[in-house]
Amino acid sequence: MMNVVFRVLVSIFLLYPLIGWSEGVPRHGVFVTVIQTPQVLASRQAILDLVAYAKQTGTDTLLVQVYRADQAWFLSKVGDSEPYIASLKSVGEDPFALLIEKAHAESIKVHAWVNLLSLSANSRAPLLKKYGASILTRSKKKKLVLDDYKIDGQFFLEPGDPRVRSELTIMVEELVRAYPDMDGIQFDYIRYPDEKPHYGYSRMNVDRFKQAHKTDTIIDNSQVWKDWKRAQVTALLRALIGRVKELRPNLVISTTGCSPYTRAFEEAFQDWPLWVNSGLVDFVTVMTYSPDPVEFRKLVQDARSKVSDVSKINFAVGAYQQVNSPERFIEQFQFCQDDGRGSCIIFHYGSIISSPVMREFLNK
């Protein structure tokens, strides 16, 4: 009898990561960008429409972009608050606060979604005006003009620069203080650029590395240099989380994660499985963007194999890539939901409302 009980208990223990669900982790979420049309935070009706969509489709969590390219949809001294001021005028009240209020009335959670280290192509970003190109990560190649710092069409801040950490921590504090009722915050673009991963050569980061390792040289492909860059990304995350927890100990904190894992670890220097497995974050949304259903499943399986509790990873379904092939979106979404291990986060709301087929499917 004892052997039977023991086997049952062991089975429950082993199955728990598959059938359990971590508190605060979305089961069905959707990203809401500030660059879609209509721009949700610029219109009271668009806010009400978003909440109605979430209610109709069983969406339990809205991940709403409020900081992008050093522009802020809240009052900020770090980012450019012009988008917030314009939205405040058009809505008649704080748009993000209104969205939180209306969503909570329908038992829908709202997480702030912030793009951290990418300034996109915003050459007028306040952080660039304040510090110049010295805060941007860079390759060894000589730079003559500001545009030479662009990587994949974007300016990337250097995670190994203490000034970057300080400014982003202040920005996050501004956000957390402004919206005490929001349910969580998701940190996006917390990584190095992953296109030809030969970055990190800002003077500040190089000087800190040389001082820490008592060396005058950097070998680009050396393990110690790669480990250093990976550690800078994690250190930035720890700094942000530390401040958030001081202000809101129970706020749900998550990040996005590059996919597949080799890309995240070796190119973006982003060790998101460490963040999940150590309990540093509550969950990670893995960017499993592939229009190919077979490749999508491989990316999902790759991500699951890296964590001890699969309920703490969600999978982003790239609706934006499949507006003209909604049947592929439907197949991926159903795989995500039916499998029951980690949930679907749709990227993004604007794509869904532009596709009658996707919208009709989700409304069922």
pLDDT digits (tens, 9 = 90+) for 75-94: 999 999 999 999 999 999 99
Residue 238 and residue 231 in contact, taking contact as beta carbons nearer than 8 Å: no
Compute CA distances 135 → 33, 132, 156, 234, whole Å: 26, 7, 9, 18
State the amino acid at position 22 in one-letter form.
S
Residue 6 has pLDDT above 70, yes or no: no
Which residues on adjacent β-strands are paired with residue 316? 345
Q: How far apart are CA 267 and CA 259, in angstroms?
A: 11
Under the banding of pLDDT at 50, 70 and 90, the label for residue 195 is: confident
Mean pLDDT computed over 330-358:
86
Mean pLDDT computed over 90-115:
98
Residue 53 and residue 59 in contact, taking contact as beta carbons nearer than 8 Å: yes
The structural architecture, per CATH, of the domain 28-362 is: Alpha-Beta Barrel (3.20)
More confident residue, 110 or 293: 110
The pTM of this model reads 0.92
Residue 48 has pLDDT above 60, yes or no: yes
Residue 15 has pLDDT above 50, yes or no: no
Cis peptide leading into residue 356 (ω within 30°):
no
Compute CA distances 201 → 24, 47, 219, whole Å: 38, 42, 11
Under the banding of pLDDT at 50, 70 and 90, the label for residue 344 is: confident
